[in-house]
Amino acid sequence: MEGMGSACRPDATAHEPGVGGLTLNAYNIMRRPRLVARRQAEKVSASLSSSPTRAALSVVILISGRGSNMEAIVRAVQAGRIPNVSVRHVISNVADAPGMETARQHGIECSAVSDMGELAAKLRQLKPDIVCMAGFMRIVPPEIVREHTVLNIHPSLLPMYPGLHAQRQALEDDAKWSGCTVHYADEGVDTGPIIVQYAVPVKPGDTEEALSGRILEKEHVAYPHAVMLVAGRIARERAQVTGSGGGGGGGGGGASTGQR
């Protein structure tokens, strides 16, 4: 989603106390990343495993190209690391996106769409519980984010460096840290409540390619983590609605929020 213009929000960090130019959320994740992530993962995984929801929660992934984040989510689901979740479909706005072939190799059904109207119709038909934009280079229309729970991944510690070439922006800014963010998509570009952030150092002499590669490694951890947190939230909310308990998973994620 990043890339189609940039809604820079220079005041956004003002809402949270910052540490060394980073949001408090990013700072905490850097200080205790493994402990925080492991505790959340244990809680949410337990909640999903004990979920009374019979059918697995369905995930549809939107891609435009390589699809490595899509594959990271698929692998995590297939390895049982995101219990009670199923990747049902991959949709690309680029008919020959390499990620489509990767998805097929994993046994996932794929479709290409030629415009956002077709995408909206396809999603209405599929009725996914979660839609993941993973390198999807189109702005999705407002009705899609209103009708579905839509997540996006961006290669920076938002709200820093939204929009195109986030890694280049970090280098040009002489940032000491960058990373990736998975967030709920709203009607803006790279805005919306943050679910998880993973930080990486920017090293002296880094090229855009080197920094992108270091961030991408974290993206492949961050996206499955975020899907697990959001699936856990949905499972707990449904359990509360049906009054059936739903396991004691706390979870919540870095800034996991109860949006939509």
Burial class (CB in 10 A: 0-12, 13-18, 19+), 241: exposed
Angle between helical axes of 208-242 and 33-49 (0-180°, round to 10): 40
Alpha-carbon distance values, 40 to 79, 106, 162, 172, 218 (Å): 18, 28, 27, 34, 17
Residue 226 near residue 151, CB atoms below 8 Å: yes
Binders of ligand GRF among 197-236, rule CB under 6 A? 216, 219
Of 90, 153, 158, 175, the one binding ligand GRF (CB under 6 A) is: 153
Active-site annotation holds for 225? no
List strand residue ranges (DSSP E) for 93-209, in order.
Answer: 109-112, 130-133, 150-154, 177-184, 194-201
Give the H/E segment covering residue 62: strand 57-63
Side chain identity, residue 213 = G
Of 83, 155, 162, 254, the one binding ligand GRF (CB under 6 A) is: 155
Of 58, 68, 111, 259, the one binding ligand GRF (CB under 6 A) is: 68
Q: Binding to ligand GRF by residue 183, rule CB under 6 A?
A: no
Specify the residue, 3 or 251, whose C-beta has the smaller distance to ligand GRF.
Answer: 3
Of 154, 218, 225, 233, the one binding ligand GRF (CB under 6 A) is: 154
Token pair for residue 85?
A: 């979740």
Specify the residue, 84 or 152, whose C-beta has the smaller distance to ligand GRF.
Answer: 152
Binders of ligand GRF among 110-139, rule CB under 6 A? 134-135
In the complex, least distance from residue 38 CB atom to ligand GRF, rounded to whole angstroms: 24
Which of the residues 89, 148, 154, 183 is marked catalytic?
Answer: 154
Q: Could you tell me which stretch among 14-22, 66-74, 171-179, 182-190 binds ligand GRF (CB under 6 A)?
A: 66-74
Binding residues for ligand GRF, total number by CB under 6 A: 15
**Sheet containing 85-92, strands listed edge to edge, beginning at the edge strand earlier in sequence:** 109-112, 85-92, 57-63, 130-133, 150-154, 177-184, 194-201
Binding mask 5-44 for ligand GRF (x = CB under 6 A): ----------------------------------------
Active-site residue numbers? Answer: 154
